[in-house]
Amino acid sequence: TSTAGDSMSISGAAISTAGDSMSISGAATSTTGDSVSISGVATSKAGDSMSISGKATTTAGVSMSIFGVATSTAGDSMSISGAAISTAGDSMSISGAATSIAEVSMSISGLAISTAGVSMSISGVATSTAGDSMSISGAATSTAGDSMSISGAAISTAGDSMSI
């Protein structure tokens, strides 16, 4: 536990305020700073958060999680083999679901849902409102924007729609 400084813990929890925090096989929590956790949960507010084999949650910053869930508000979020949820920021998920509001959402072998932004899904469903939507081997649904689907169904209202 550290306040306004660095904190590192192995096989435990590292908590830092206004500084860096790193934990291996545990949880790392940081406010207005960086947080890294391996095989655990990394939570950061107004800063970066990274978790491997766990969950990474950040507010107004970057969040990355491998084998878990990455949730970010007003920032970037990336998850591999899980779900990435971002509000007013970018979201990317591989083999899972990516949900983004007012930004870009991309999912490979899953579901990508974006509102007022771009949504892309490979081997899944891509749904976008007032923006672009693209899905390969699935269904693409877009309202007041573009929609493209290969080997599936493409539905668009007041915009372009293409399905092969």
What does the pLDDT read at residue 4? 75
What does the pLDDT read at residue 32? 78
pTM given for the model: 0.75
- Please list the residues that pair with 155 across neighbouring strands: 141
Which tokens belong to 163?
Answer: 């399905």
Q: What angle do CA 115, 30, 3 make, to 5 degrees?
A: 150
What does the pLDDT read at residue 103? 66
What does the pLDDT read at residue 109? 82
Question: Which residues 6+ apart lie within 8 Å of 18 measured at CB?
Answer: 3, 4, 31, 32, 33
In single-letter form, the type of residue at position 6 comes to D
Q: Which of 54, 132, 110, 117 is nearest to 86 (CA)?
A: 117
Could you give the CA distance from residue 125 to residue 28 in angstroms, rounded to a whole number?
Answer: 34
- Edge-first strand order for the sheet with 111-115 is 2-3, 13-17, 27-31, 41-45, 55-59, 69-73, 83-87, 97-101, 111-115, 125-129, 139-143, 153-157
Cα radius of gyration rounded to whole Å, the chain: 18
Could you give the CA distance from residue 29 to residue 23 in angstroms, rounded to a whole number?
Answer: 9
Per-residue pLDDT in tens (0 to 9) along the chain, 164 residues: 777 778 888 887 888 887 788 888 878 888 877 888 888 788 888 778 888 887 888 887 788 888 878 888 877 888 888 788 888 778 888 887 888 887 688 888 878 888 877 888 888 788 888 778 888 887 888 887 788 888 878 888 877 878 78
